[in-house]
Amino acid sequence: MQTLLGIDLGTTGVKAALFAADDGRVIADAFIEYPLFHPHPGWAEQNPTDWWEATLSAIRLCLRAGASKGAAAEDVRGLGLSGQMHGVVLLDEQRQVLRPCIIWADQRSDDQCRWITEKVGAAQLIEYVSNPALTGFSAPKLLWVRDHEPEIFARARTMLLPKDYIRYRLTGVLAMEISDAAGTCLLDVKHGGWSQEVLAALELDPSLLPPVVPADAASGTITAEVANQTGLPAGVPVAGGGADNACGAVGNGVVEPGLALVSVGTSGIVLAHASSPQVDTSGPVPRVHTFNHAVPNGWYLMGVTQGAGLSLRWVRDNIGLPERALERWTGIDPYELLSKEAEGVPAGSEGLIFLPYLQGERTPHLDAYARGGWIGLTASHDRRHLVRSVLEGVAFSLKDCYAIIREQGLQLNQVRATGGGAKSPLWRQIIADVLGVELVVTNSSEGPAFGAALLAGVAGGVYSSVQEACAQTVRVVQRTAPDPATAPAYEQAYETYKALYPALKPIISRPL
């Protein structure tokens, strides 16, 4: 039996998942957590060595579980990597890590974003890299190190993204894959190479950046040392892989024009496949990202809701304390109980609106300082309304993303839903109602790890293309149609939601 191994390097931990190549079924998986550090307010860092040790453990556990089900390590035909985007890993001349990785959630580089925009020019930056400078992106983080830790920057010889550091440890190869490189603010997204114009303007040595490799081709092979550490055979090809959202799209079959993906995890995204690099030019800066896809000659447009699942987790941790206590005795998921309560509240939460800006907002505001809250609270509202309004507020933010993508002229024939939030029937129904489209769910329960494994299958010669891999393994298993009876309530609530940010910006958008 041919198998494929997908590795997804997330923010809370790393997942290793083993899949059957013939139909994509999950044979075994393992998840290992690692810490996230906040040295100062607004900062977010992780240690690459923590990632590496967790990855080794996850691979070992996954292969051991697979062997117990008859899937031998010798049957692995390829390994694919997915990972959190934008983080900056700096290596010295001996390829040793110089400092903790500044990850995607870090907000310290606002000054560097302004400097990049002034130095390159706002319009020129969009022309060169198709995206504005944002605190989440890699280039501002790199410049922050140059400005504030010059002794470390002087020793830096290579910059890698998180999953590409794992690639280096697995294969000894220094490389950066194209869909992940697109989020650095240094890649020419239209043509696929490093932007020499931006590098020159920012006075960055091009040698800091490794070669850009395709997502679906072998970038290296498992070394003998790693084989001894994990049980994987030496020589197994390691695919270029992809950014987490690109791999999530592949894992759900969003690899052709007309398909879109709504993902509700800690953050939320609306992503649509594009056959050309389309950029939102309606305002001074694009409201959605334009990135290279993990599909050859493909791109995607993506809007981001910073606080999607994060908002519901906040409710669970601060308002759902009884449900958390009950979980310890019964094992019942607190989210399930909270959602059950919210079902009793009518669409629109009887006028209560939630702004999900718990860690700023990307689409459409590009405001790292935006703050969330409830508006319209009355004595007649209770906890049920608070919960449902959070589900609806996130859906309204996703509608902002969806509407902007539609404005770009993309024909969206089907929207697929994934992520932890999409597993909730109520939340899935609310999103379908708010967007006014049918949501379909695929058999892909592992999302990015599955997409990474399919890319490994192409690199290992199991499939001839990413499209063939998806056609063979990805199937629609569930459909959620919008309820037209809720449309008037949601249209009214959404209009109120849209009016709130500009009205409240002087109050809710300020540094802590």
* H or E segment to which residue 482 belongs: none
Phi, psi of 160 (to 5 degrees): -125, 155
Is the Cβ–Cβ distance between 161 and 180 less than 8 Å? yes
244 is catalytic: yes
Cα-Cα-Cα-Cα torsion 50, 218, 105, 418, nearest 10 degrees, comes to: -110
Burial of 348 (0-12, 13-18, 19+ CB in 10 A): buried
Nearest to 87 by CA among 58, 44, 148, 39: 44
Nearest to 157 by CA among 200, 204, 95: 95
The Cα–Cα gap between 139 and 197 comes to 14
Q: How much helix, strand and coil, in percent to the nearest 5, is found in the chain? A: 45, 20, 35
Instruction: Tell me which of 244, 280, 400, 433 is the catalytic residue.
Output: 244
The Cα–Cα gap between 19 and 495 comes to 44
Annotated binding residue 148: no
Cα separations (Å) of 457 from 78, 338, 441? 6, 40, 23
Contacts of 30 by beta carbon, 8 Å cutoff, 6+ apart:
15, 16, 17, 57, 58, 59, 61, 62, 65
* H or E segment to which residue 9 belongs: strand 3-9
Annotated binding residue 1: no
Phi, psi of 424 (to 5 degrees): -80, 115
Catalytic residues: 244
Annotated binding site: 85-86
User: Binding site for substrate: residue ranges?
Assistant: 85-86
